[in-house]
Amino acid sequence: MAEYRIDDLARAAGTTVRNVRVYQDRELLPPPRRQGRTAIYSDAHLVRLRLIINMLERGYAFAQIKEMITAWESGRSLGDVLGLEEVVGESWAEEAPRAVSAAELRRMFGTQFSTANVKRAVELGLLERRGRGFVSPSPQLLDAGAELVSLGVPLREVLDLAEQLQQDIDHVAGHLVEVVRKHVLTRPVPTQEEIPYYSEVLHRLRPLVMSALNAAAARSAARVIPEVLGDRLIEMLANEDQAKRA
């Protein structure tokens, strides 16, 4: 289970530290665990925070959100509530985050490792600051970006691509999960007896979504790469044939 300090929690949810504190003051967000003077938040807090933000965006007032959350919690133990929220909020990543130093990033991206590009990467969640260094939540994405840069693609455009790719994947994954929500998780507030079933469905949903996205990406690449590069390859083969005939 991941642990977050308040600034990490706010960044992961796409909000501000000030808003997190406001939601806590309004008793919408459970209190964090204390480790000395440091407040430690969990995946359950992140899921609850995203739920609050989603409800606010839909036009609900603080009082309405609190009322619905209270109704959801009534009759259930804290373990039941946080248990299901933690299942929802578990990391879907199949790779471990990797610490990376500024020197290593400079070796990977050369002169394009600029303040502006670092700031953009942090804003997109591709890098997280840790003291004087960084953490890459997805080393595979980081390495793919470095490979594109080594091929000659400007880092600025790689970051634009990463942002667009994330938006597109969010859209596709959202459709898939919405189908399950519509036809399987039909009750918005599960009863006490249904919580284990909901947890099982969510556990099964994780590998299903990942498998579907990976398979679709592979099929798409098999179609798109020849289409996009076909003209260049044909031109190259034609030139080679002409050279042989000369």
Helix axis angle, 139-151 to 102-109, nearest 10°: 40
SS (H, E, C) 71-117: HHHCCCCHHHHHHHHHHHHCCCCCCCCEEECHHHHHHHHHHHCCHHH
Task: Over range 136-165, report the average pLDDT.
Answer: 93
Closest CA to 221 of 173, 165, 159, 151: 165
Q: What is the pLDDT of residues 38-85, one digit of tens each?
A: 899 988 888 888 888 877 887 888 888 887 777 666 655 444 544 545
What's the whole-number average pLDDT of the chain?
A: 81
Task: Over range 205-224, report the average pLDDT.
Answer: 80
pLDDT of residue 78: 41
* Domain boundaries defined on the chain: 3-89, 94-183, 191-246
Q: Is the pLDDT of residue 106 over 90?
A: yes
Q: Which CATH architecture has domain 3-89?
A: Orthogonal Bundle (1.10)
Task: Over range 172-188, report the average pLDDT.
Answer: 80
In angstroms, how far is CA 193 from the centroid of its own chain?
30
